[in-house]
Amino acid sequence: MRVFQTTALLLLLVSACQTPPKIHGTGAVFPYGNYHHKVFVETNKNQNYNLSGILKYETDRMELVGLSNFGTTLFKIKKNSMQKNTEVKIFEKNIVQKKSSFKKFFLLVEQVMKLQKEDIKKNRTRIGSAKIEFANLNSNGTPKITKVLTDSFQLTIRTLKYERLD
Say whether 25 sits in a helix, a strand or coil: coil
What does the mean pLDDT of the chain come to?
A: 82
How far from chain centre, in Å, is Cα 160?
16
pLDDT digits (tens, 9 = 90+) for 91-108: 999 888 988 888 888 989
pLDDT recorded at residue 9: 30
**In contact, 53 and 39? CB cutoff 8 Å:** yes
Query: Which domains, ranges and CATH numbers included, belong to the chain?
Result: 23-164 (2.50.20.10)
pLDDT recorded at residue 26: 62
Local confidence band at 3 (pLDDT 50, 70, 90 cut-offs): very low
Cα-Cα end-to-end distance for the chain: 44
How many C-beta atoms surround the C-beta of residue 28 within 10 A? 18
